[in-house]
Amino acid sequence: MKKIAVASDHGGYLLKEKVKKHLMDRGFEIIDLGTDSEESVDYPVYGKACGEAVASGRADLGVVVCGTGIGISIAANKVKGIRCGLCTSVEMAHLAKQHNNANILALGGRTTDAGLAVKIVDQWLDTEFEGGRHQRRINMLDQM
């Protein structure tokens, strides 16, 4: 079974815990990189940690959560080899995998309710990358 790294700041902590439980219920192995409470922390630390876990191969995929998902997705995308997509709908989750082969999914703990968030997570996990012209574009990203 695939290993999924999860990470959040304080703004994403509660949603991270719900997503983590959902992923465990689905049988995934979880690497929880924190944070562990709603006490204020800095999202770049957690986005970077998740990015490095996925880029190194320690985890197959990652999920990052901050208040909006914006800051932590920016941080994760600073790590070479990471394609982190911030998704606020099931359609975006579908396309983030089908076209962008996003290896990290970002969610907003203060902007996306938990019910929608798990549907977004499932859609991202259960969609196949289409390859072809999309692989060529990903190769271009890798050259940057």
Q: Which residues lie near ligand RB5 (CB under 6 A)?
A: 9, 11, 43, 66-68, 70-71
Whichever of 68 and 127 has its CB closer to ligand RB5, that residue is 68
99 is catalytic: yes
Q: How far is the CB of 70 from ligand RB5 (least distance, A)?
A: 4
Assign 3-class secondary structure to the chain.
CCEEEEEECHHHHHHHHHHHHHHHHCCCEEEECCCCCCCCCCHHHHHHHHHHHHHCCCCCEEEEEECCCHHHHHHHHCCCCCCEEECCCHHHHHHHHHCCCCCEEEEECCCCCHHHHHHHHHHHHHCCCCCCHHHHHHHHHHHC
Whichever of 68 and 101 has its CB closer to ligand RB5, that residue is 68
Whichever of 11 and 62 has its CB closer to ligand RB5, that residue is 11
87 is catalytic: no
Q: How far is the CB of 11 from ligand RB5 (least distance, A)?
A: 3
Nearest to 6 by CA among 56, 74, 72, 71: 72
Bridge partner residues of 29 (DSSP): 3
Instruction: Please pick, among 50, 66, 84, 87, the residue that the annotation labels catalytic.
Output: 66
Q: How far is the CB of 40 from ligand RB5 (least distance, A)?
A: 7
Whichever of 13 and 28 has its CB closer to ligand RB5, that residue is 13
Q: How far is the CB of 42 from ligand RB5 (least distance, A)?
A: 9
Residues assigned a catalytic role? 66, 99
